[in-house]
Every structure is written in C-alpha cells, then in structure tokens.
Copies of this chain bind each other. A is one copy, B any other.
Amino acid sequence: MDAEIIAVGSELLTPERLDTNSLWLTAQLNELGIEVVAKMVVGDDRARLAAAVRAVWERSPLLVVTGGLGPTEDDVTREAVAQALGRQLVFHPEILAVIEERFHRAGRVMAGINRRQAYLIEGAEALPNRVGTAPGQWIREADRAVLLLPGPPGELKPMFSESALPRLRAIAPPLVIRTLSFRVAGIAESDLDDRISPVYKRYAGVATTVLAAPGDIQIHLRARCEDEARAEALVGEIGRQIQTILGDRIYSNSDPMEVVIGKLLAARSATLAVAESCTGGLLAQRITSVPGSSAYFLGGLLVYHDAMKTGLAGVSPDLVREHGAVSEAVARALAEGTRARTSATYALAVTGVAGPSGGTDSAPVGTVFIGLAGPEGVVVRRFRFLGDRERVRAFAAQTAMDMLRRRLLGLPEVPGVAPA
C-alpha cells in the first residue's frame, strides 16, 4: 500500500526548519508494510493545501497530513481538507467540552479561538489528543483514507500509536516488512562501516542504513516480502553476522543507552549518582528522561565551576591546583567524593573541555576524563572527542553511560586514549 505525507506549516518552508515528523511516521508506516512514495511540505495556505490534498486523494490510497490543526487562523488544515474532499465542517459540542475541561483542569479559561478545534470534517472520526487540545481526524472512503495529525511531535506520536495505528492496520494489505536494529557504542562510524559493509552488501533484498550520532550508531536492517518467514530469515541472517562482528559494542536493539543502564541498575537494585562538569547536567538529564528513573537514580552534583568541585564534591583544592580541573586525578576524586556524599552504589564523574575555548596544551578542546566509582573501586578513562561543544558533550554523556554499562555487565573497560 502506498502513502503520501503532507506536512503543513509555513515555518517548514523557511531555511531553518525541516519536517522531521515524516521520518518517524515513515518508520511507523513501513512497519505496517506501507510505503511512503512522496512527501510534501505546504505553507499555511488554504488554497494551495486543498489542491495538494485533492491531488493525493486522486492518486494514492493513503494520505497523512501533519500540522495546521491548532486554534489560530494560520491553522488551515481542517478547512483545506474539507474543501479538497468536497465535505462540510461539522461542529462537535462533545469535542469542545473535552477541550474546555482540559483548560479547566489547568486552572485556565479556554480562549474563544479554541472553538475552531471542535470542528470535524463531515464523516471523519475524531482521534483523541492526550497531550494537547487539537483532536486528530480519520476519514475513510472506499479504497482510500486520510489521516490528520497535529504537528507537535509530543502530540502526534501518542495519537498515531494509540488511535491511527489500529485503523491503519485494518486497511493495510498483508505485505510484511521485517526490521532488525542495533545500537552500538564505542566505535567510530567509518570503522563500523568498514567492518560490517562486506556483510550487508551481499544482501540486495535488505535495505541497510547506518545512522551515526555522537557515541551512538544505529544500524537498521529492513526486508520487505510477501512471505513473513523469508523476511525474518533474511534480517536474522545478516543480524547474526553483525552481532558476531560487533560483539559487546552492541548495547541494545532499540533502547537508548539511558534505558539500558536503567534496566541494568534496577535489576541489581543498584543506585547511581553523577558529578558533571563539562556536560553541565546533560548526563543526568538523559538518565532522568526515563520514566521511573527515580528507582535507581539519586541525583548528584553539578560541579561546573572549580569552586563547586572543591566545595560540593570535596575535591581537595591542592589536587585541582596541581593537576588542573580537567585531569585524571580530579575525575577520580569527583567520582569518589560523589559516591561518598550520596551513598550511591555507583558514581559517574565527567570533567573536560567542551569548547569552543578553554583548551590547553595538556587538555585541548574535546579532552574529557570520565571516572566511575563503585564497590569494585574507581576507574578513570581519558577521551578526546571531536566536534563542536554540543557534540563533545553528547559524546561524553554517552560514553560515561557506556562505561557504567560495561561495568554492570562485567565487560572489559573501554580503552580511552593516551594523553595528548
């Protein structure tokens, strides 16, 4: 089954913004065996959007429209789709009641313009929005369907998963797509591709994608067949070879690192605390982005300024003076001090130079020391991450968590790099 996606929003036609919702949606549709054959971005322009919707309606069995369901005059999706399909907009008092109740719960009064969000296209089913005010809409006619979703990813994703997915599953023909993914830490993208490309290039029927983020490479395998067993056999065959090559550098199939270490800590009834200098909260923020992380994450110390390293974490001022704040000695003292002060089972400490300034001869920009203290003792590794401030920080946070993962699994320590 073919689908097209239209993202609505003039901001998506500026030089600064891209429609990223379509990536997530494509992955979801592909899972159902639905192929995305074209994507479009249209501004907040009713006539233009109506024309685009009309054209897709005539040529493709499924259209997904994202955005333009907000309460303002800019939000033209409802009107444009109604016009394209030659249908009326119908006011639904029961939807208005839900929106009003939402505002009421927040102790606010609904603005009059939110009334616009209580209109459905004639014949459409409303898809509830748990997160925001705009309901989605689902329109089905003979052999075609249109799905309207809100633009904010935080609203779009739960609505798609909870309301759109079952409806799409009912209409998608049984073409099967089987995917297998791996997430990998502690290896450079080019190095990884050199090792695994001889494997995946032998399989023309399987699409292989390698996506690199700092310290985090994702490998996606995708086979699309009419025969489920064949699709599964194909991805399984490549997957086993990749696992053999990459071994314990594979840290999950899809869970991000913060989820992986969370599960490992929880399973061991262990707790974690952190001390962050150059990452400035990023490490803790990632760990606490996981619902339920309070079961194993205690908290820790933000030791951005050197006075905090001594004052909060109890690192000796002499040690900082002698070795510098970005040093193995200070990373060790931070990890030990944080573990002692919080009584956590493990403590991770990160101190480094994220840049763009602040580099020295002995610790150039990108130098990061990561200390891990636990019942078995303390290890410190030195790293040199390449890239801008954001990238260095992302690498540092990911690598710190990977050090903990390896410790929890009893794997050999990552090597780090020699001093510059």
Contacts and interface: CB of A to CB of B under 8 A. Distances in A.
Interface of A: 9-20, 23-24, 26-27, 30, 35-45, 48, 51-52, 55, 59, 70-74, 102, 105-108, 110-114, 131-133, 152, 154, 158, 188-191, 193-194, 197, 201, 207-212, 220, 271, 273-274, 276-277, 279-289, 291-294, 297-305, 307-308, 311-312, 341-343, 355-358, 366, 384, 386-391, 393, 417-418, 420
Q: Which applies to chain A's interface (DSSP): helix, strand, loop or mixed? A: mixed
A389 B10 CA distance: 28
A358 B70 CA distance: 30
Contacts of A43: 37-38
A111 B389 contact: no
A26 B11 contact: no
Given A342-B312, A356-B291, A193 B307 contact: no
Given A13-B26, A72-B189, A154-B387, 7 more contacts: A74-B208, A74-B210, A111-B188, A113-B190, A113-B197, A281-B287, A299-B308
A273 B294 CA distance: 22
Contacts of A366: 106
Given A16-B211, A37-B43, A131 B30 contact: no
A191 B72 contact: no
Contacts of A271: 305
A159 B392 CA distance: 18
Nearest to A130: B388
Contact of A298 (B10, B284, B307): B307
Contact of A15 (B11, B23, B41, B343): B23
Q: Could you say which of A55, A281, A284, A312 has the most chain B C-beta atoms within 10 Å of its C-beta?
A: A281
A417 B417 CA distance: 52
A131 B385 CA distance: 11
Contacts of A420: 107
Given A281-B281, A281-B285, A305 B298 contact: yes
Given A302-B300, A384-B106, A209 B10 contact: yes
Nearest to A60: B48
Q: Could you say which of A12, A16, A48 has the most chain B C-beta atoms within 10 Å of its C-beta?
A: A16
A156 to B, nearest CB: 12
A201 B10 CA distance: 16
Contacts of A70: 189-190
A209 B74 contact: yes
A162 to B, nearest CB: 13
B45 A37 contact: yes
Contacts of A17: 23
A111 B197 CA distance: 13
A158 B390 CA distance: 13
A273 B106 CA distance: 30
A304 B298 contact: yes
18 contacts: A13-B36, A13-B38, A15-B23, A16-B220, A38-B41, A38-B52, A71-B190, A106-B386, A107-B420, A131-B388, A132-B386, A280-B285, A281-B283, A291-B357, A297-B305, A299-B302, A299-B312, A311-B343
Contacts of A289: 280, 389-390, 393
A80 to B, nearest CB: 13
Contacts of A220: 11, 14-16
A107 B11 contact: no
A133 B299 CA distance: 37
